[in-house]
Chain A
Amino acid sequence: MSAVAKVYRWEIAKLLAQKRTYLGLGSAMLVPLVFVIVLVLQTGGPNDVPLGRYIRDTGLAVPFVVLFFMSIWGFPLITALVAGDIVAAESHNATLKTILTRSRERGEVFVGKVLASFSYTLVVVVAMGVVGLAAGSIAWGFHPLTSLSGTKVSAAHGLALLAASLGVYVLPLVGIAAFGLMLSTITRNSAASVVGTLMWALLMQLLGVLPGTESIRPYLLGAQFEAWHGFLRVPADWTPVIRALWVCALYIGIPLFAAYVVFLRRDVAAE
């Protein structure tokens, strides 16, 4: 096993041994469940959100609708909980000096942490998708999905669209994770990093709804949470998806590079 793979494996093991990991993962799984239960018990529904009016037609619609609600602060918070902590906690526990006085280079340790926090982000989104789909299908069945263009797509095709949508939806979240990692590395303070990351994610959303920001709106991180809408059009609209790819690459790459440089050079001393 390569050096980075070993670090990555232990980063995952450490995440699995910490409560906050399950707090985030549990919330991501609970939200679609509660959502379905409430809609089963109540009439009416989220008619104003994409696919909201078809929610009782098929369980396939549930994860898409939950994606919308979770993008405001749910997923950013869950992502920040882990990414904001992953370096800062080691500063706080003074374990950074323990692992940096072995045979692994700082770069290898950093890459292991980045991959672990990105993996976590992917896992929570997929977990929400799976639970939402399962709960929705139990409540309303696994039927064809009505696309955003108003045409029906088969359930199997809908499932593929869901997978693709979750994939592109993860990108801006990874951007948030990268920002959290940067704060975690620079501030060495878990709480400040988690809160700072969440504030940054909210600021990105806020900028998107303020008047006068129309020209920059497609390039804000918050807008990328809607890139998956492109997949739900017939024919598929690749423009927002491609934009999300390169815009998110910047939102991921820049803070990550800053964090990397700081991590490589920083003094590991008492906090």
Chain B
Amino acid sequence: MSEAPPVATRGLVKRYGEIVAVDHVDLTVEPGDVFGYLGPNGAGKTTSLRMMLGLIRPTEGSVQLFGRDPLRDGAKALQGVAGFVEGPAFYPYLSGRRNLRLLADYDDGDSRSRIDEVLELVELADRAKDKVGGYSHGMRQRLGIAAALLRSPRLLLLDEPTTGLDPAGMRDMRDLVRRLAGEGLTVLLSSHLLGEVEELCNRVAIIQKGRIVYEGSLGELLASAASGYRLRSPEPERARAVCRAQTGVEQVTSVDGEVRFQADEQSVGALSIALGQARIAVTALVPQTASLEELFLDLTEGEAQPEEAVA
């Protein structure tokens, strides 16, 4: 059982009539991952998460959390799993603390003994007596994290945890996620914010119109899109001539007084030696990498769905 990955979905499909919200999604989240589930609004992120948590039934395919299927094993499949989809929801007429007490009683184990600790952690201890109906959006998000942490989860599923937060709230939330991940928690985090994913996640899956268009490490994704090199020199004309003469260096152009070219790493190494031998000073020789944003737009380009599509 301990060998099974925290999340493994195979051929996951959810149809609503004609609409295919999630289309044969295969995802594997390994222990210790901070996994970014990235996609535009309406791409199927929340629907996927709902299936993972056993809230909705897949039309096809399966979900396994640590080897357990929520559809087959019910609440037992959620042992060691916590999180929220589409914003945490609480009883507005109960206080923050009573909401947590209620949820602790819905848990197996000793969630109750951790209430004070998690309230401190999300900095809600002062407002715990107030009714949740009077909480701001950010406070509810934090209470959502607190409610999830009550369970001492090994896997945290968070659906757009920073959506609707102000910049300081976003920073705090990201710090918290980073800290939890640092403590060895596996996190699956859905987001449409590229910066957030770039900042927090080691692996990503990009979903578009219900289909996974990329799954893998963030580093590899960024490396796969290395789109050439920039060279700066006080003698751009001579530098350009050397580049042109160098084997393996292609598409040499001049832009804004810089030389730009395509080459593999080995050819760039050889080029630097050739420039040295030709006694041409180099002030900068840098790989140009596409930002995650550019990659994301490339992968999802022209296929943005309207916001009101099934989330």
Contacts and interface: CB of A to CB of B under 8 A. Distances in A.
Interface stretch (A11-19, A126-134, A186-194, A233-241): A11-19
Contact of A104 (B87, B93, B94, B106): B106
A95 interface: yes
A104 B75 contact: yes
A99 interface: yes
Contact of A103 (B53, B75, B91): B75
B304 interface: no
A171 to B, nearest CB: 31
Nearest to A108: B75
B14 to A, nearest CB: 9
Chief secondary structure at chain B's binding surface: loop
Given A7-B105, A101-B55, 10 more contacts: A6-B106, A10-B102, A17-B94, A95-B91, A97-B50, A97-B85, A98-B84, A265-B57, A268-B55, A269-B50
B89 A98 contact: yes
16 contacts: A6-B105, A6-B106, A18-B93, A93-B92, A95-B89, A97-B53, A98-B89, A98-B90, A98-B103, A101-B78, A106-B74, A267-B55, A267-B56, A267-B57, A269-B50, A269-B56
B55 A98 contact: no
Q: Which of B50, B57, B75, B81 has the most chain A CB within a 10 Å cutoff?
A: B75
A101 B93 contact: no
Interface residues of B, number: 36
Contacts, number: 89
Interface string B51-90: 0011111000000000000000011001101111111111
A270 B309 CA distance: 12
Nearest to B51: A267
B311 interface: yes
Contacts of A14: 91, 93-94, 102
A101 B78 CA distance: 7
A17 B57 CA distance: 32
A100 interface: yes
Given A14-B91, A267-B55, A270-B86, A102 B151 contact: yes
A13 B106 CA distance: 14
Nearest to A89: B91
A105 interface: yes
